[in-house]
Each structure stands twice: as structure tokens, then as C-alpha cells.
């Protein structure tokens, strides 16, 4: 591949600071993280286009499914073509999703919103999510957990920005309330598309890959090798999915995400059911909204803090905490949460911080096991676990809650929480079974006379 988007054009010169790479990655992740603020559009679309709740959720659901699929399908291409290509394609797809949706709303054709935001935009989500991961890992071989934690924290932060921004824009265009103006909704989609196009441009203009022989100052690659789980050899994406380690991590990620969704999916009603008797009715609703907000904060901060800690204590140990301590926290929530608000808040926040951290630490875990040679493609394939959990989690939580609709109070959630504990324990066991990848899967040592070895 040649031209402006090619990898060869973005090899950093000697003076390039690696601290310019995280903001480049963040400009993509903060944008595509908007997907978690889709609910800000839902009310306006339902009333403005006269559709139901299931229909208004379709663009989001399709978007998350497309995220996992496109990350898996295009992962190898992202590794081959480089991060600028991936970020530019992601930007084009994500922005097109908004523009197609705006057109669909103007024409009164809701299927265009589903196709545009969910289908085309969803491809942008998947490619964008994995686009900076392997590049960051190569720029920060000494702190891979910290670097991917920053970027993936951005994905959580994207909704923080988009939620209030979208709501205030819809209100300004007369597109909120009981009779929203559909032209106002369409205009909001159009402006989102334009602003995100400009915002994401910084990412693909600024991104650089390190030269093959670049090393951080003072970093000794030999020291990295001293950890038993860390491999310096590379494994291809095609071979990685043949190893038990890949599928064990798939289970770890899937169950960790499912357990987090157990709270995230029903955070508002869970809070109200736990504290209905101990809080005045007039403050309960506002407190429940605040509870959801504080969980978002915990989810986001966990991505950065716990992932950074994994650089110190190792990836296997940090997942022992996410899964093992997570199961104990769910247990405490089930049996003590109702009687003590402080314990309830602490447990909930830690569980959500582990949920976010599970996403943020997995690229570094993959790097440790499979090396940096196609880690982006392997990460893309692993994200199918996220898509699976995205379906599995809400089904478990909602099915159990629906079957116990006649039960009041915290006991309504006891079976769902117990299922989450079982899933976390299974994830813990899967993590315990992870061993270094067998040598037979490693790529041959690169020929030093060639320059095609390491790819960011």
C-alpha cells in the first residue's frame, strides 16, 4: 500500500514524542465512544418518528454487533495497512453513519437510520476501536497496560461528552419534549457528523508508528522477558485462534463483561429497589440518576487505573482481582448491600471499575501471550466475546428480572447476581488455566536484513 494513508508515510522520525500518540488514539476513541450515548437520541426519535422502544434501540444494537464483527473481519487488514488507514476508514464510516441517518430522518425513512448509524457507523466503531491498540503497545513496550488503558478509557469517556452535548443540542433545535421537531433531530445528526469529522481528523493526521529499531529511553527488552507469561516471540492471528490461550481469554473477557452488564443494564431500577424504603420518594429518582453517573465514572477510571496497575503486578494477577474479588463483591452486594449504602456504593463502583478494566487490560494480556506481531488482529477477533456478552448479559438480567416482577426489593435481583457470581468464578478458573503459548505457534525469528518484521 502506498500514499498518504500508508504505514511507510507515518514512521516517526528520531525527534517524535511518543506522548503525541495517546491523544491521537483518544481523538478516535472519544468520538466512537459516542455510541454509548445513543439513548440521548432515543426519546426524540421515538416521539418524532413514531416508533417503539425496540425499534429505537436497533441502531445501537446493530452498531455493537457490527463493532465485534468488523473488528474480527478487518483486524488483519488494520495490522497490515497501519493505523492511519484504519483511523481514516473508521472516521469515514462513523461520520457517514450520522450523515445517512440525518438524511433518513429528513426523508422520514427510519431504516436509513438503522442502516446508517448501526451498519455503516458500526463498521467505523470496530475498525476505530482496534486501530490504535497495536501502535500504542509498540510505542509503550514498557507500559502497555497504561497506554491501552488511556485509549480505552477514551471509549468510556466518549459517552460522557456526547450525553450532555446531544441533549442540549436537541433541546436547542426544538427536538426534545413530547413533540420534537424531526428537522431538528436531523440537524443534530448532521452537526454530530460534521463535528466528529473534524475532531477525528487530528487522530489520523497525528498518528505515527515507531521505527522497527526504536526503543524507549532506558528500557531493556531483556527485563521484559523475565516475567514468565511474557513472550517476545510473535504469533499470527490465524494461529492464535488455534491456541487454548485465545479461547480462555475469550471466556475471561466474555464473562467479565457479562458480569458488569449485570449491574450496568439495570443500574437505575436496582438503586431504587434497594433504597426505596430508606430514601424519600422525591430524592430517590435523582439519586438513582446520580448512581448511574457515578458508575460511569468508576467504569471509566477503572480502565485507566487497574490497567496501569497490571504493568506492575502482571496481567494474570490483575484478572484474578477482576474476577475473584469481583465475585466476592457481588456476594457482598447480594447479602449486605441493602443494609449499608456505603457498602452498596463501594461494591457497585468496584465491580464497574473491574468491568471497564477488563476491556482495557486485555490488549496488554494479548501482547504478553502472543507478542506484538498481529496483536491488533488478534484483539479484533477477541472482541467477538464482547458482542456475545452484549447479547448474553441483558438477556440474563432482563429474563430473571421479568420472571420476578411481582417481587419487591433487592431480592428481585438475587438470582441474577448469583448467576453473575458463577460466571465470574468460571472466568477466574479460565484465567488460572492460561499458560504461555507453546513455541510451535511462534513465528520464525525475523530476518534482520529485512524491514517487514514488526508492524504497528
Partner 1 sequence: MSEQARSTEGRAPVALVVLAWAWVGVPFLYGLWQLVIKIPALFGG
Q: Binding residues for partner 1, per CB under 8 A? A: 14-20, 23-24, 26-27, 30, 154, 157, 159-165, 199, 202, 206, 211, 213-219, 283, 286-287, 289-291, 293-294, 296-297, 345, 448
Q: What's the CA gap between 313 and 309, in Å, rounded?
A: 6
CA angle 162, 322, 231 (to 5 degrees): 100
Q: Do the beta carbons of residue 90 and residue 127 sit within 8 Å? A: yes
Q: What's the CA gap between 60 and 45, in Å, rounded?
A: 13
CB of 300 to partner 1, least distance (A): 9
DSSP per-residue codes, 107-149: HT-HHHHIIIIIIIHHHHHHHHHHTTHHHHHHH-TT-HHHHHH
CB of 191 to partner 1, least distance (A): 15
CB of 443 to partner 1, least distance (A): 20
Looking at the Cβ atoms of 190 and 345, the one nearer to partner 1 is: 345
CA atoms within 13 A on the CB side of 229: 20
CB of 375 to partner 1, least distance (A): 20
CB of 284 to partner 1, least distance (A): 10
CB of 15 to partner 1, least distance (A): 4
CB of 164 to partner 1, least distance (A): 4
The residues, ordered by sequence, that sit 6+ positions from 372 with a Cβ below 8 Å of its Cβ are 134, 137, 138, 141, 234, 454, 456
Q: CA–CA distance from 303 to each of 47, 61, 136, 216, 390 (Å)? A: 36, 23, 15, 23, 18
C-alpha of 90 from chain center: 15
Looking at the Cβ atoms of 179 and 213, the one nearer to partner 1 is: 213
CB of 162 to partner 1, least distance (A): 8
CA dihedral 429, 431, 433, 438 (to 10 degrees): 170
Looking at the Cβ atoms of 216 and 415, the one nearer to partner 1 is: 216
Q: What's the CA gap between 257 and 251, in Å, rounded?
A: 10
Looking at the Cβ atoms of 142 and 432, the one nearer to partner 1 is: 142
Looking at the Cβ atoms of 236 and 353, the one nearer to partner 1 is: 353
Looking at the Cβ atoms of 95 and 396, the one nearer to partner 1 is: 95
Q: What's the CA gap between 311 and 308, in Å, rounded?
A: 6
Which grid coordinates belong to 284? 430517590
Looking at the Cβ atoms of 26 and 133, the one nearer to partner 1 is: 26
Q: Is 209 helix (H, G, I), strand (E, B) or coil?
A: strand
Amino acid at each position: 500500500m502506498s500514499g498518504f494513508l500508508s504505514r511507510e508515510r507515518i514512521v516517526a522520525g528520531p525527534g517524535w514524542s511518543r506522548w503525541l500518540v495517546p491523544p491521537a488514539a483518544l481523538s478516535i476513541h472519544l468520538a466512537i465512544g459516542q455510541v454509548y450515548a445513543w439513548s440521548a437520541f432515543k426519546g426524540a426519535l421515538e416521539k418524532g418518528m413514531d416508533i417503539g422502544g425496540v425499534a429505537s434501540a436497533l441502531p445501537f444494537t446493530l452498531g455493537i454487533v457490527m463493532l465485534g464483527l468488523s473488528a474480527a473481519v478487518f483486524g488483519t487488514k488494520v495490522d497490515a495497512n497501519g493505523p492511519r488507514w484504519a483511523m481514516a476508514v473508521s472516521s469515514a464510516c462513523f461520520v457517514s453513519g450520522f450523515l445517512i441517518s440525518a438524511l433518513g430522518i429528513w426523508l422520514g425513512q427510519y431504516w436509513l437510520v438503522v442502516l446508517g448509524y448501526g451498519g455503516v457507523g458500526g463498521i467505523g466503531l470496530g475498525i476505530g476501536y482496534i486501530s490504535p491498540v497495536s501502535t500504542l503497545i509498540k510505542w509503550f513496550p514498557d507500559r502497555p497496560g497504561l497506554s491501552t488503558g488511556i485509549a480505552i478509557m477514551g471509549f468510556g469517556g466518549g459517552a460522557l461528552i456526547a450525553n450532555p452535548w446531544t441533549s442540549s443540542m436537541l433541546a436547542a433545535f426544538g427536538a426534545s419534549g413530547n413533540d420534537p421537531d424531526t428537522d431538528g433531530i436531523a440537524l443534530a445528526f448532521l452537526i454530530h457528523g460534521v463535528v466528529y469529522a473534524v475532531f477525528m481528523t487530528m487522530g489520523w493526521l497525528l498518528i505515527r508508528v515507531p521505527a522497527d529499531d526504536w526503543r524507549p529511553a532506558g528500557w531493556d527488552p531483556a527485563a521484559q522477558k523475565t516475567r514468565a507469561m511474557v513472550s517476545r516471540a510473535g504469533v499470527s492471528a490465524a494461529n492464535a485462534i488455534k491456541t487454548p490461550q485465545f479461547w480462555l481469554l475469550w471466556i475471561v473477557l466474555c464473562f467479565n463483561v457479562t458480569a458488569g452488564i449485570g449491574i450496568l443494564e439495570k443500574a437505575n431500577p436496582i438503586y431504587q429497589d434497594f433504597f426505596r424504603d430508606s430514601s424519600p420518594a422525591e430524592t430517590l429518582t435523582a439519586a438513582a440518576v446520580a448512581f448511574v453517573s457515578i458508575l460511569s465514572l468508576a467504569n471509566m477510571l477503572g480502565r485507566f487505573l487497574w490497567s496501569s496497575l497490571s504493568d506492575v503486578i502482571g496481567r494474570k494477577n490483575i484478572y484474578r482481582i477482576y474476577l475473584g474479588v469481583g465475585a466476592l463483591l457481588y456476594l457482598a452486594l447480594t447479602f449486605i448491600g441493602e443494609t449499608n449504602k456505603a457498602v452498596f456504593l463501594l461494591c457497585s463502583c468496584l465491580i464497574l471499575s473491574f468491568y471497564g478494566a477488563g476491556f482495557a487490560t486485555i490488549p496488554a494480556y494479548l501482547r504478553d501471550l502472543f507478542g506484538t506481531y498481529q496483536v491488533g488482529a488478534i484483539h479484533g477477533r477477541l472482541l467477538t466475546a464482547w458482542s456475545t456478552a452484549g447479547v448474553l448479559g441483558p438477556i440474563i438480567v432482563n429474563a430473571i428480572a421479568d420472571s420476578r416482577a411481582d417481587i419487591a426489593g433487592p431480592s428481585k435481583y438475587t438470582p441474577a447476581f448469583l448467576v453473575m457470581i458463577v460466571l465470574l468464578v468460571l472466568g477466574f478458573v479460565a484465567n488460572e488455566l492460561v499458560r504461555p503459548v507453546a513455541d510451535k505457534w511462534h513465528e520464525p525469528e525475523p530476518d534482520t536484513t529485512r524491514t517487514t518484521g514488526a508492524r504497528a
